[in-house]
Structure formats: C-alpha cells, structure tokens
C-alpha cells in the first residue's frame, strides 16, 4: 500500500473508533458480586489496576490493598497470613482491564466484592467498576479499612442492586451515566479527582428507587448520608462508564486511538485500538501535587490506578478547565488548568459533542488520544490523580497531576509500524 492509502485507512479507522466513543451510551444496570459477572474470575482470583505485574514486583500500596482484600474475603486475617497465602501460590493475579473491569488506585477486585455493572446500550458491551473508598485501595488493611469494604458489600451494594432491579421491573434501562456526567461537567466536576456533582446527581436519581425498595428507614438515612459525605463516590461509575465507552472502540484495524491508560504503581500501560489487547508500558511517573500535612514526595508511591480511563475518554484532566475547585487539591493555577485542557487538543482526534467546557464557550473536551500525535508533538496526556503512600498499610497522602511515560507511546507506535508494515 502507498503511504497515502495507509494514511486514508488510519483516518477512516480513527474516525470509526472515535465515532464509537462519542455515540456510546453507558448505563448502570446492576451491582453484582465480581465472581458472578467478571469473565475469568475464579474463587481465588484477585484482579488489580494497571498492566500485569507479579506479587514480588508490586508496589507497597498495591500489596497492602491485596492484603486488605484477602482479609475482607476471610482467606486470612492478617498481613502475614495474606502474604503466606500469596507466597504459596494460592492467589491468581490479573489486570482488571483484561477482564472488562476497572478499579481506582490499587483497584483490587476479589470474588465477593460487588462491582458496578455498566452496559453500553449503543454497542452492547458490558463492563465493570470497583467501588471507590479512601482506605483499602490506597494500601490500608486495618480493621476500619476492611470495614469500609464490608459496608459496600453487605449494605450499599445490595440496596443499590434492589433499587436497580425495581427500575428494570418498571421497564427502565438503568441509570444513564453519560447524562449525569455531561451535567456534572457543568457543575465544577472533571469526573476524576472531583466527581462531587456527579455523586449528588446520581444519588438523587437512584434515591426514589432506594426508597421504594428499602424498608429500614435507618438504613435509608445511612445511605443518603453516605452519598452526601462521599463526594468521590461517583468516580467508580464515571470509570466504568468510560471503560464501557472505550471498549466499544477496541480492536479496530489500523486505528491509532488509545483505548486504555492504566497504572499498577510500578508501570504505566496503554492499549491501542489497532493493536489488539497488547499492553505497551513504561515506568509509572511521580505525581506533581499537594501533600497532606506530614507527608511529602519522599513518601509518595508512583502513579497508580485504572482511573486514567477517564482521561482516555476525554474527561478527568482533559476537562480540568471545568473544575478549578480541584486546584486546591492538586495544586496549580486556573491558567495551568486552561493550558492543560487546551493542549490536549493537539494529541486527540476530535472534540467531544457531549462533554463540554462552558468556560471555553461550550467547546467539547479533547477526545480520542492518537499515539501518532503524542509521539510527534512530544505532548503527553495529562492525568489527575491521587497519591498513595509507598508503604503498605498507610493510605492516601495527597493528589496531583501526572503524565504517562513517552516510551509506552513510542513502543506502541513501533509495534504499529511493524504490524501494518509502515
């Protein structure tokens, strides 16, 4: 093929890929224990954020999160017990992304942990999201941390499942996440580090069904208070919606679109539409950000989590201009936020037609990262993120901004050139 022919094929493939991204319709349809829905999950599977990694190479907070999850499952009741089980080869590890799922920070999903079930109503694919909480996913495994998983598994998840079942029994499709996300972007959210409006809008949407299906008033009050005081809640739904969106653009021959960006705390990996299911990786970066009192960059673990699926879809830091309020959390000025948001247009395929930036006179967010543009311009995607302590057992110590390693994009482009004989 001539280089003109190949260029036309790439343009056409990317047009198709990004059209799928724009036209996706992710709905929350259910909440179910992972073992019941996640493809490839076995009784002793633990899935995690980012590209594949073996236990011995995992970072501290991911090890801590796995220990916390093993304690939650009741397979062991201490750090030592959990480590023993792992070292005996009892646990199978695998990346969330390779099982249709995403999870924030360590992102650890185990069989009995309920996950959000999100269906892309336009393309039919179903994807899964792990709950967001501020302790286990950051590496803590103390009793209080594990208790937050129990609240989710035993109280909130079953209540949400009942509410969604009621919705379906009334002929509903579930909860339209894209609509909530579009509205939340008008309300100061960028839907990664700040999903506060998304959480409120989601709560008010599901509450009538929770009211109809929850007899215990005290429990109902507790759930409302949980939504009211956990502004970060909606992140797991934004992530699952983004995963369901990007998966519709997977495996389109010739497409140079990035379909996933994810980090395991050691490596940063990307997937590219035209390159199948392969991970292209480089070292996870150090986050530039603000730390909680008593902590600094010397305590910080490198970048971690599947939450960069939001930036992959054109929100998160790609919509930072919508969310100047998070600058008090991640640092920087409003000018920086504007600059990052505009810069992302140079490495993407189109402007989103649903996710808009009112402060840019309603321009769409930059959507559809093209590996060619990243390598050519040298501009790396910008990602909002939280910072975990590098040691297991501690937790969140700050938040900030981070970039992927350029080598992930370069090795993807190299593989692309080899595959398509450029």
Using CB under 8 A as the criterion, which residues of the chain lie in contact with a copy of itself when the complex forms? Answer: 186-189, 196-197, 200-201, 203-205, 207-208, 211-212, 217, 220-221, 224-225, 227-228, 324-325, 327-328, 333-334, 358-362
Nearer to a copy of itself among residue 77 and residue 186 (C-beta): 186
What does the angle CA 39 – CA 167 – CA 32 come to, to the nearest 5 degrees? 25
Nearer to a copy of itself among residue 38 and residue 401 (C-beta): 401
In terms of residues, how long is the chain? Answer: 422
Give the chain's largest Cα–Cα span: 69
Q: How far is the CB of 230 from a copy of itself (least distance, A)?
A: 11
Give the residue from 13, 51, 100 showing the smallest Cα distance to 278: 51
- Cβ contact 121:152 at 8 Å: no
Q: How far is the CB of 309 from a copy of itself (least distance, A)?
A: 23
Q: How far is the CB of 327 from a copy of itself (least distance, A)?
A: 7
Quick one: CA torsion of 74, 266, 102, 222, rounded to 10 degrees?
50
Question: Can you spell out the DSSP letters for 27-70?
Answer: EEEEEEEHHHHSTT--TTEEEESSS---GGG--HHHHHHHHHHH
Give the residue from 137, 382, 146, 149 showing the smallest Cα distance to 265: 137
Tell me the backbone φ, ψ of residue 277, rounded to 5 degrees: -100, 10
Q: In DSSP terms, which residues pair with 367 in a beta bridge?
A: 350
DSSP state of 292: -
Nearer to a copy of itself among residue 297 and residue 354 (C-beta): 354
Sheet with 288-291: list strands edge to edge.
288-291, 396-402, 383-388
Nearer to a copy of itself among residue 112 and residue 343 (C-beta): 343
Q: How far is the CB of 350 from a copy of itself (least distance, A)?
A: 21
Q: How far is the CB of 368 from a copy of itself (least distance, A)?
A: 24
- Cβ contact 314:368 at 8 Å: yes
Q: How far is the CB of 291 from a copy of itself (least distance, A)?
A: 19
Nearer to a copy of itself among residue 187 and residue 286 (C-beta): 187
3-state helix, strand and coil shares in percent for the chain, rounded to the nearest 5: 50, 20, 30
CA distance 313 to 260: 9
Nearer to a copy of itself among residue 115 and residue 206 (C-beta): 206
Nearer to a copy of itself among residue 90 and residue 212 (C-beta): 212
Nearer to a copy of itself among residue 39 and residue 208 (C-beta): 208
Q: How far is the CB of 215 from a copy of itself (least distance, A)?
A: 9
Q: How far is the CB of 182 from a copy of itself (least distance, A)?
A: 11
Q: How far is the CB of 175 from a copy of itself (least distance, A)?
A: 12
* Alpha-carbon distance values, 210 to 21, 159, 164, 398 (Å): 31, 7, 8, 34
Q: How far is the CB of 197 from a copy of itself (least distance, A)?
A: 5
Nearer to a copy of itself among residue 122 and residue 339 (C-beta): 339
Q: Given the DSSP bridges, would you call strands 363-369 and 45-48 parallel, antiparallel or unpaired?
A: unpaired
- Residue 333: count other Cβ atoms within 10 Å of its Cβ: 10
Nearer to a copy of itself among residue 17 and residue 197 (C-beta): 197
Nearer to a copy of itself among residue 4 and residue 335 (C-beta): 335
- Cβ contact 51:396 at 8 Å: no
* Alpha-carbon distance values, 315 to 175, 283, 341 (Å): 19, 23, 10
Q: How far is the CB of 17 from a copy of itself (least distance, A)?
A: 29
* Alpha-carbon distance values, 379 to 100, 105, 192, 341, 347 (Å): 29, 24, 21, 12, 7
């Amino acid at each position: 093929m001539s280089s003109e022919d190949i260029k036309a094929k790439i343009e056409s493939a990317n047009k198709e890929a990004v059209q799928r991204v724009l036209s996706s319709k992710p709905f929350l349809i259910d909440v179910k224990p992972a073992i019941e829905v996640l493809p490839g999950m076995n009784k002793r599977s633990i899935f995690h954020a980012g590209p594949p990694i073996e236990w011995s190479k995992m970072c501290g907070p991911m090890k801590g999160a796995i220990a916390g999850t093993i304690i939650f499952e009741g397979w062991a009741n201490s750090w030592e017990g959990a480590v023993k089980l792992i070292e005996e080869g009892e646990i199978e590890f695998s990346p969330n992304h390779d099982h249709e799922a995403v999870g924030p920070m360590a992102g650890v999903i185990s069989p009995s942990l309920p996950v959000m079930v999100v269906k892309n109503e336009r393309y039919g694919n179903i994807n899964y999201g792990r709950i967001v909480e501020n302790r286990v996913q950051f590496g803590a495994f103390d009793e209080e941390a594990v208790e937050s998983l129990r609240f989710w598994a035993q109280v909130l998840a079953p209540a949400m499942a009942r509410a969604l079942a009621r919705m379906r029994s009334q002929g509903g499709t579930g909860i339209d996440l894209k609509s909530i996300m579009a509205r939340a972007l008008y309300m100061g959210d960028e839907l990664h580090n700040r999903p506060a409006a998304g959480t409120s809008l989601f709560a008010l949407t599901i509450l009538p069904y929770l009211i109809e299906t929850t007899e215990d008033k005290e429990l109902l009050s507790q759930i409302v208070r949980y939504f009211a005081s956990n502004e970060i809640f909606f992140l797991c739904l934004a992530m699952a919606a983004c995963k369901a969106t990007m998966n519709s653009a997977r495996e389109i021959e010739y497409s140079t679109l990035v379909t996933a960006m994810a980090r395991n705390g050691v490596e940063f990996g990307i997937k590219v539409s035209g390159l199948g299911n392969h991970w292209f990786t480089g070292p996870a970066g150090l986050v530039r950000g603000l730390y909680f009192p008593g902590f600094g960059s010397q305590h910080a673990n490198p970048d971690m989590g599947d939450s960069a699926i939001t930036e992959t879809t054109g929100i998160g830091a790609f919509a930072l201009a919508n969310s100047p309020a998070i600058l008090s959390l991640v640092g920087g000025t409003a000018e920086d936020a504007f600059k990052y948001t505009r810069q992302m247009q140079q490495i993407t395929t189109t402007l989103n037609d649903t996710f808009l930036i009112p402060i840019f006179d309603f321009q769409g967010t930059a959507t559809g990262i093209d590996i060619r543009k990243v390598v050519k311009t040298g501009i790396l995607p910008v990602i909002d993120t939280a910072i975990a302590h590098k040691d297991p057992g501690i937790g969140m110590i700050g938040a900030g901004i981070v970039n992927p390693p350029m080598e992930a994009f370069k090795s993807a482009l190299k593989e692309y050139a080899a595959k398509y004989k450029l």
